[in-house]
């Protein structure tokens, strides 16, 4: 899983950040680094690929939270499943955050930001086979499909919040192409060669990790309309300043979004109670 870039930027802005991480030792190391330079940071164990971990998380959290940022992004080099039997990419990028948001919603005060991706524009959606048990699985295809699902979830989440007259607002973001460790997923020689090439290109053309936080911070600090998709202004959606950007017709389809949310509710056994 990639290391999230938002916490560093948020602590610099004076926020008390709670890092929800699988590796608490590494999380505490990062938290200590950020606390020493900026603001207070806490660490709580969370594995989004394990619903038992997701369900245990709220009990470890003291009080309410102002802003929930769901920024999971994972890739795998072969098809595998979570402990709950979900396709790993979908389980980590969508179903875990979906369940977490539903469980935490009563304690969220103001905002939910879901990190989607322009990758959704290349995705196909198979609501009859979301875990790709019968259709072809590919590494990048599964990632794009999971992010399309996040986009649709964000659409339905915004609709439900507005319909209920909730004070909570939600947005979707696309951070651009960020020079992070997201693609470091395999030790296989061919994959390692591809990763090294991608890293070299990213180091030259992609946003650095601080710039990758800009779209999330823009949603927090600017009067961005609820339900907006905030990406970057550069060509091909790779880098640039935060800007409102478009999404595909499929990612804007409320009927499909409702069906996607119903699927996620059934899989996770959680429901958004606004």
List active site positions. 143
Backbone φ/ψ region at 121: left (φ over 0), alpha (ψ -120 to 50), beta: alpha
And the tokens for 62?
Answer: 């003291």
**Cα 202 to Cα 200: distance, rounded to the nearest angstrom:** 5
CA distance 251 to 120: 8
DSSP one-letter code for 225: P
Asked if residue 170 lies in contact with residue 158, where contact means CB atoms within 8 angstroms, the answer is yes
- C-beta neighbour count of 56 within 10 angstroms: 15
Spatial separation of the C-alpha atoms in residues 4 and 209, rounded to whole Å: 8
Q: In whole angstroms, what is the distance from residue 135 CA to residue 272 CA?
A: 30
In a 10 Å sphere around its CB, with 0-12 CB exposed, 13-18 middle and 19+ buried, how is residue 249 labelled? exposed
Q: At what angle do helices 139-163 and 254-268 cross, to 10 degrees?
A: 100
Distant-in-sequence, close-in-space partners of 76: CB < 8 Å, separation ≥ 6: 88, 89, 139, 142, 185
Q: Are 49 and 82 in contact (CB under 8 A)?
A: yes
């Amino acid at each position: 899983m990639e290391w999230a870039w938002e916490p560093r930027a948020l602590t610099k802005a004076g926020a008390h950040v709670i890092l929800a991480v699988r590796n608490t030792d590494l999380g505490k190391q990062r938290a200590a680094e950020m606390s020493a330079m900026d603001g207070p940071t806490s660490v709580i164990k969370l594995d989004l690929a394990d619903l038992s971990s997701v369900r245990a998380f709220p009990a470890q959290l003291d009080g309410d939270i102002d802003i929930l940022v769901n920024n999971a992004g994972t890739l795998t080099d072969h098809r595998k499943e979570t402990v709950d039997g979900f396709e790993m990419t979908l389980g980590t990028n969508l179903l875990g955050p979906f369940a977490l948001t539903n469980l935490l919603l009563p304690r969220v005060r103001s905002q939910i930001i879901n990190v989607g991706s322009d990758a959704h524009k290349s995705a196909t959606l198979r609501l009859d086979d979301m875990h790709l048990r019968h259709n072809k699985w590919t590494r990048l295809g599964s990632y794009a499909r999971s992010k399309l699902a996040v986009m649709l979830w964000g659409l339905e989440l915004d609709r439900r919040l507005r319909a209920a007259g909730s004070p909570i607002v939600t947005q979707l973001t696309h951070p651009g192409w960020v020079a992070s460790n997201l693609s470091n997923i395999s030790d296989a020689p061919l994959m390692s060669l591809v990763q090294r090439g991608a890293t070299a290109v990213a180091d030259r053309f992609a946003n650095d990790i601080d710039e990758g936080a800009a779209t999330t911070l823009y949603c927090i600090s600017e009067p961005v309309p609820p339900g907006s998709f905030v990406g970057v202004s550069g060509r091909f959606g790779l880098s640039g300043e935060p800007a409102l950007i478009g999404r595909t017709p499929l990612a804007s389809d409320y009927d499909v979004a409702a069906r996607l949310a119903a699927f996620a509710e059934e899989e996770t056994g959680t429901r958004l109670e606004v």
